[in-house]
Amino acid sequence: MLKGQCLCASIHFQINKNIEAIYQCHCSLCRKQSGTHANHATIVQESDFKWITGQDNISTYRKDTGFTSSFCKQCGSPIPNQVGQPHLMWIPLGLMDDEIFPTQQFNFCLSSKANWEQIYLNSTDYEHLPTFAAITNIFK
């Protein structure tokens, strides 16, 4: 069983299976919804998903096209939502507290990725959060 929660810890959920496949979607909608270059997510059967607490704290925005974004009313974290018919559950992986060991990774909509995304492919890597002084120096 894998557990996840939002930033403010009011919404908790669990997934009753291993997560085998994960994906990033780089489309313009997923970039806005996630606030970054892509969302990083998985999809599970609704029967493998269970809310534990905080469903009252979920707000949902739906575009005319049907694209749906659910988020915590209190902290704004993206929250799992139903997709497709019959329903599956979309799971933003950043909410998971347990380690996952996916065996398959996918990229979706690379043709519409942000033009600046490749900067992450030639990155300077830090093992930990740099000091505030170093951050100040980097982002001066």
Binding site for Zn ion (CB under 5 A): 6, 8, 10, 25, 27, 30, 72, 74-75
Shortest Cβ 127–Zn ion spacing (Å): 28
C-beta separation of 68 from 60 below 8 A: yes
Task: Using the minimum distance from each CB to Zn ion, give the nearer residue, 100 or 109.
Answer: 109
Task: Using the minimum distance from each CB to Zn ion, give the nearer residue, 15 or 69.
Answer: 69
- The amino acid that residue 43 corresponds to is I
- The DSSP result for the chain, as a single string, is -EEEE-TTS--EEEESS---EEEEE-SHHHHHHHTSS-EEEEEEEGGGEEEEE-GGGEEEEE-TT--EEEEETTT--EE-EEETTTTEEEEEGGGB-S----SEEEEE-GGG--TTGGGGGGPPP-SSPPPHHHHHHHT-
Shortest Cβ 21–Zn ion spacing (Å): 16
Task: Using the minimum distance from each CB to Zn ion, give the nearer residue, 21 or 135.
Answer: 21
Shortest Cβ 85–Zn ion spacing (Å): 18
Task: Using the minimum distance from each CB to Zn ion, give the nearer residue, 2 or 4.
Answer: 4
Shortest Cβ 134–Zn ion spacing (Å): 30
